[in-house]
A and B are shown apart, each in its own frame.
Chain A
Amino acid sequence: MPPPLMPNFNNSVKLKYVKLGYQYLINHFLTFTLLPITLTLLLQLRYSPDEYLRLWNSLRFDFVHVLCSAFLIIMISTTYFTSKSHSVYLVNYACFKPPRACRAPFSTFMEHSKLILNSEPKSVDFQMKILERSGLGEETCLPIAIHFIPPSPTLEASGGEAELVIFSAMDSLFEKTGIKPNDVHILIVNCSLFSPTPSLSAMVINKYKMRGNVKSYNLSGMGCSAGLISIDLARDLLQVHKNSNAIVVSTEIITPNYYQGKERSMLVPNCLFRMGGAAVLLSNRRTFRTQAKYRLLHVVRTQKGADDKAFRCVYEEEDREGKVGISLSKDLMAIAGVALKSNITTLGPLVLPTSEQLLFLISLISRKIFNPKGKPYIPDFKQAFEHFCIHAGGRAVIDELQKNLQLSAEHVEASRMTLHRFGNTSSSSLWYELSYIEAKGRMKRGDRVWQIAFGSGFKCNSAVWKCMSSVETMGNNGPWDDCIDRYPVYIPEVVKL
């Protein structure tokens, strides 16, 4: 019996080198064309030193000439410098580390479920099935008011959770960056489902005694992608206000939104959402240039609300008994895919190298002319980014994105591990993921990070950051400090409870 044919490695290796060669050629096209031309020109213009001296002496310096040329140079440089957008630096950020007392391991969660939903065993089973496949670990945390049986979501308890999460994150941020609360010019707080009066931003200003002309904004209702919307707003504001510091606080307050009914589509958020928060310091001051960790390159926002199905896929409503909860529709994944495609269509030309864009263009033309049913070419985003932070919305979201963007397991590791350790912390999950990548020592200077988040409405927002200085792993004082050695963890498809 002849030995089984070995797969033909030669061809695939040759293909790899062809691809590399093509990329190198296209991305450095200008160098390859201009270099020979410049060299030949230089060879032609070989003058002797005497000739250069004669050239210099023949120039005349007339006062009018000098004035005109100086005026021209100044006008051009002023126009250039004032129309250039200010760089926005991420100086540092801090994530909230929930206290151990708030842990909600599977056993606690299921026991609570059984006690609260004792009349509906089917709903309890449904919750267990969701939890088994969720990708969450045993160390995720729920706020104290939810640990009560039955949960007691009073306004005071919600305020207490908000104070705990936001103030710890901000204390940590002030400590890490060394700035004083008085030095903050812009404050943006985003929390989707809890919006008391006075606002959370006023609460922060009161606690830290910030200055009287601080520009504060309190965004709410904008879902899990609200963190990137706040970053977008901060960036626009920092273009207008020079030499300013902006703090963005992203969180989600779970206490008032725990669903206490039995409708199945509304029980899913209970299993996924956990306590978390992050505070980020952005600045456009030049003094922070050496100290800053990242520089913001792009923010792209996509709003798919015009489509009715997309609008209704994450919806807050009352169930038949009048209990308030958030219902997730069954076509959530499909809608997320469409929103993602729109977003990367805008983002692609901004970040992809020329080689990928050319390939995409060629495939588009060939599909239009030759083969309309051909598969669209998905540009290789691994060429544009070194790290990916995908919002840890749930296991299905991460799987879907990994498949669509053809990412490897290492690329989505940060998202999966964040989902395991902290759960879905809504708008702040992107910062936990970034913290994971830093804690693992993978962040090097010059690396580009792509943060992508989805939210109700339906929105898909991306932000692109560039690392300015290699981040040290020790003494980072992040939320992963005590457990990074245990990660990555293998998460089975189904955890048997």
Chain B
Amino acid sequence: MDSLIIVVLVLPVAYSLFQLCKLIQQRRIQCCYIMHYECFKPSNDRKLTTEFSGDIIMRNKNLGNEQYKFLLRAIVNSGLGEETYGPRNIITGREESPTIADGISEMDEFFISTLDNLFHKSGVSPREIDILVVNVSMLASVPSLTSRIVNHYKMREDIKAFNLSGMGCSASIISIDIVQNIFKSCKNSFAIVLTSESIAPNWYTGSEKSMILTNCLFRSGGCSILLTNNKAMKKRSAFSLKCLIRTHLGAMDEAHSCCKQQEDDHGHLGFFLSKSLTKSASKAFAENLRDLAPRVLPLRELVRYILLNSVTNFVQRYSKVSKKVSLNFKTGVDHFCLHPGGTAVIDGIRKSLELSEKDVEPSRMTLHRFGNTSASSLWYVLGYMEAKNRLKKGDRVLMIGFGSGFKCNSCLWEVLRDLGGGNVWGDSIGNYPPKTLVNPFLEKFGWVYEDN
């Protein structure tokens, strides 16, 4: 009898001990820290002003008057400022016939400048890097960009290198996903993620309206990020990854074909953006938020939402009052890093998350200062917040990116120490936010609004 009691008592205790040990084991291998990140600032001779953009468009012989007006209207309303950067071959007038060397030198300039700074500021040597992930959507070279970097910095032989491409503007979060997963198998390692976009060989030289917008929005830029899962480096690190959610809407045909690379009727290669882009984006965003909310928001907010929702549904059955209940993300997130894909994207997200103008200010200013630098734009937005000294210890930052396919990826970072100081925004941070975002060439190009 005694032994029976002992066995009955021991079993639940044993089970709970088992779960506790498992939990402790899981927690031990969870960390992923950003030690440092470095955004790319191209040299001043690569600046593209509105006037210069107008000149470049005029050079395209394939455009008719209608398309020319459409383009100028797009540039003036794009939200881009006068200091965005373009690739060298377009500035020197060779946009119609890019060579491989143009694409590669654009990438070389980016990674040499940022990686030199990154290694210098963090004190980590290239030979200590264990994982290297590069994502550049529209360039696939042989040997890959990862090999170029390994060659330039003489990195180790057993480095785990991955070269992602074709994954669109949300690819930097996908790269962080790879690093996070590999960190769980490799202890105490360093990883570098390089994210950029290749603009030089991808300038559209045709006249199709749906494909020519990309020329007005995409600009040169990139970012290198140094990550580690070494707990000893926590004091020197800036951010810690809390969660990462990926959503892929490729199963729906409409979402899949809403932005794709294709040739137009005359054989010019370009990037097609369909009219259902905003619809697919909002659908992807909604699905991503659905997975994200339980992991990011505190319990009271979720409880409030559920209760309010059920009450409203109950009330709606008897009265015609239709009030929409939505989650207040500001209870779990202090700063929002939204992909500056264009003014429409920023306004759309702002409306659906019910954010204030101050919340979306970093994204708007990034769009103005650097343009849409594709996958790396989220890091410029983060840099803006840091330069404005808004990131304090314990703050939570939510990054949301969209990409072709159609994907919506998001991740939540926790700030580990008070951040501030010089970064890519440098001295120009004092000029932001400017008094007006209206394009100074509106009067000059005002005639584009007249119909004739």
Q: Could you tell me which A residues sit within 8 Å of B by CB distance? A: 61, 63, 66-67, 70-71, 74-75, 78-79, 82-83, 85, 154-156, 192-203, 205-206, 208-223, 229, 232-233, 236-237, 239-240, 301-308, 311, 314-318, 322, 324, 326, 342, 346, 456-459
Interface residue from B144, B263, B404 paired with A221 (Cβ < 8 Å): B144
Closest to A208 in B: B251
**B271 touching A197 by the CB < 8 A rule?**
yes
Distance, CA A213 to CA B249, complexed state (A): 9
B142 to chain A, nearest CB (A): 4
Interface residue from B101, B157, B262 paired with A156 (Cβ < 8 Å): B262
Closest to A306 in B: B154
Interface segment among B6-14, B323-331, B423-431: the answer is: B6-14
Distance, CA A444 to CA B43, complexed state (A): 62
A191 to chain B, nearest CB (A): 8
Query: Which residues of chain A are within 8 angstroms of B14 by Cβ–Cβ distance?
Result: 70-71, 74
Contacts A305-B151, A346-B158 hold; do A70 and B10 have CB atoms under 8 A apart?
yes
Closest to B290 in A: A212
**A305 touching B143 by the CB < 8 A rule?**
yes
Distance, CA A198 to CA B257, complexed state (A): 8
| B17 interface hit (Cβ, 8 Å) | yes
**B251 touching A303 by the CB < 8 A rule?**
no
Interface residue from A75, A85, A195 paired with B165 (Cβ < 8 Å): A195
**A205 touching B405 by the CB < 8 A rule?**
yes
Distance, CA A210 to CA B247, complexed state (A): 11
Q: Can you name 30 A-B pairs with beta carbons within 8 Å?
A: A75-B17, A79-B21, A154-B267, A194-B140, A195-B137, A195-B165, A197-B168, A197-B259, A197-B271, A199-B166, A199-B405, A200-B166, A205-B248, A205-B256, A208-B251, A212-B287, A220-B140, A220-B164, A221-B144, A221-B145, A232-B160, A303-B155, A303-B158, A304-B157, A314-B142, A316-B100, A317-B101, A457-B147, A457-B150, A459-B147
A260 to chain B, nearest CB (A): 15
Interface segment among B176-184, B223-231, B442-450: the answer is: B176-184
Query: Which residues of chain A are within 8 angstroms of B261 by Cβ–Cβ distance?
Result: 155, 196-198
A318 to chain B, nearest CB (A): 5
Query: Which residues of chain A are within 8 angstroms of B263 by Cβ–Cβ distance?
Result: 154-156
B254 to chain A, nearest CB (A): 10
Distance, CA A318 to CA B253, complexed state (A): 37
Distance, CA A308 to CA B143, complexed state (A): 12
Q: Which of B101, B159, B165, B287 has the most CB of A within 10 A?
A: B165
**A82 touching B262 by the CB < 8 A rule?**
no
Query: Which residues of chain A are within 8 angstroms of B249 by Cβ–Cβ distance?
Result: 212
Distance, CA A208 to CA B144, complexed state (A): 29
Query: Which residues of chain A are within 8 angstroms of B6 by Cβ–Cβ distance?
Result: 61, 63, 66
**A192 touching B18 by the CB < 8 A rule?**
no
**A221 touching B155 by the CB < 8 A rule?**
no
Closest to B99 in A: A318
**B185 touching A239 by the CB < 8 A rule?**
yes
**A219 touching B162 by the CB < 8 A rule?**
yes
Query: Which residues of chain A are within 8 angstroms of B181 by Cβ–Cβ distance?
Result: 236-237, 240
**A212 touching B185 by the CB < 8 A rule?**
no
Interface residue from B147, B168, B248, B250 paired with A303 (Cβ < 8 Å): B147
**A221 touching B251 by the CB < 8 A rule?**
no
| B167 interface hit (Cβ, 8 Å) | yes
Query: Which residues of chain A are within 8 angstroms of B407 by Cβ–Cβ distance?
Result: 202
Contacts A78-B22, A214-B248 hold; do A302 and B185 have CB atoms under 8 A apart?
no
**A213 touching B247 by the CB < 8 A rule?**
yes
Query: Which residues of chain A are within 8 angstroms of B251 by Cβ–Cβ distance?
Result: 205-206, 208-212
Query: Which residues of chain A are within 8 angstroms of B168 by Cβ–Cβ distance?
Result: 197-199
| B246 interface hit (Cβ, 8 Å) | yes
Distance, CA A258 to CA B64, complexed state (A): 35
| B69 interface hit (Cβ, 8 Å) | no
Given A206-B253, A208-B251: 20 more A-B contacts, CB < 8 Å: A74-B18, A82-B25, A154-B267, A197-B260, A199-B166, A200-B166, A202-B404, A210-B248, A213-B291, A217-B162, A217-B178, A229-B161, A239-B184, A305-B148, A306-B156, A308-B151, A311-B148, A315-B142, A318-B101, A456-B144
Q: Give the top 8 A-B pairs by smallest Cβ distance, nearest first.
A: A199-B166, A221-B144, A205-B250, A305-B150, A457-B147, A202-B405, A316-B142, A195-B140
Distance, CA A239 to CA B145, complexed state (A): 27
| B49 interface hit (Cβ, 8 Å) | no
Query: Which residues of chain B are within 8 angstroms of A223 by Cβ–Cβ distance?
Result: 142-144
B280 to chain A, nearest CB (A): 12
Contacts A85-B185, A202-B250 hold; do A311 and B165 have CB atoms under 8 A apart?
no
**B162 touching A233 by the CB < 8 A rule?**
yes
Contacts A74-B17, A85-B185, A206-B253 hold; do A229 and B162 have CB atoms under 8 A apart?
yes
B268 to chain A, nearest CB (A): 10
Interface residue from B246, B262, B405 paired with A213 (Cβ < 8 Å): B246
Contacts A71-B17, A199-B405 hold; do A305 and B165 have CB atoms under 8 A apart?
no
Distance, CA A240 to CA B251, complexed state (A): 25
**A240 touching B163 by the CB < 8 A rule?**
no
Distance, CA A221 to CA B156, complexed state (A): 19
Distance, CA A66 to CA B4, complexed state (A): 13
Contacts A61-B3, A214-B248 hold; do A314 and B184 have CB atoms under 8 A apart?
no
B418 to chain A, nearest CB (A): 32
**B182 touching A212 by the CB < 8 A rule?**
no
Distance, CA A192 to CA B144, complexed state (A): 8
**A311 touching B151 by the CB < 8 A rule?**
yes
| B269 interface hit (Cβ, 8 Å) | yes
| B174 interface hit (Cβ, 8 Å) | yes
**B157 touching A318 by the CB < 8 A rule?**
no
Contacts A78-B21, A193-B140, A236-B185 hold; do A220 and B166 have CB atoms under 8 A apart?
yes
**B100 touching A324 by the CB < 8 A rule?**
yes
Query: Which residues of chain A are within 8 angstroms of B256 by Cβ–Cβ distance?
Result: 198, 202-203, 205-206
Q: Mark B59-95, 1 if CB is under 8 A from A, else 0.
A: 0000000000000000000000000000000000000
| B138 interface hit (Cβ, 8 Å) | yes
Interface residue from A196, A214, A301, A322 paired with B160 (Cβ < 8 Å): A301
Closest to B202 in A: A197
Distance, CA A70 to CA B147, complexed state (A): 52
Closest to A229 in B: B162
| B452 interface hit (Cβ, 8 Å) | no
Query: Which residues of chain A are within 8 angstroms of B271 by Cβ–Cβ distance?
Result: 197
Query: Which residues of chain B are within 8 angstroms of A221 by Cβ–Cβ distance?
Result: 140-147, 163, 165
**B18 touching A78 by the CB < 8 A rule?**
yes
Interface residue from A74, A199, A305, A324 paired with B147 (Cβ < 8 Å): A305
Report B186-207 residues with CB < 8 Å from chain A CB: none
**B25 touching A78 by the CB < 8 A rule?**
yes
Distance, CA A322 to CA B100, complexed state (A): 9
**B142 touching A326 by the CB < 8 A rule?**
yes
Closest to A457 in B: B147
Closest to B249 in A: A212
Query: Which residues of chain A are within 8 angstroms of B250 by Cβ–Cβ distance?
Result: 198, 202-203, 205-206, 210, 216
**A213 touching B248 by the CB < 8 A rule?**
yes
Q: Which of A208, A212, A307 has the most CB of B within 10 A?
A: A212
Query: Which residues of chain B are within 8 angstroms of A194 by Cβ–Cβ distance?
Result: 140
B407 to chain A, nearest CB (A): 8
Query: Which residues of chain B are within 8 angstroms of A236 by Cβ–Cβ distance?
Result: 181-182, 184-185
B212 to chain A, nearest CB (A): 16
Closest to A154 in B: B263
Distance, CA A79 to CA B25, complexed state (A): 7
Distance, CA A200 to CA B167, complexed state (A): 9
Contacts A202-B256, A322-B99, A457-B150 hold; do A195 and B166 have CB atoms under 8 A apart?
yes
Interface residue from B22, B154, B157 paired with A342 (Cβ < 8 Å): B157
Closest to B256 in A: A206
Closest to B263 in A: A155
Distance, CA A108 to CA B204, complexed state (A): 36
Query: Which residues of chain B are within 8 angstroms of A199 by Cβ–Cβ distance?
Result: 165-168, 404-405
Q: Mark B24-41, 1 if CB is under 8 A from A, else 0.
A: 011000000000000000
Q: Which of A78, A194, A342, A456 has the most CB of B within 10 A?
A: A78
Interface residue from B137, B144, B267 paired with A222 (Cβ < 8 Å): B144
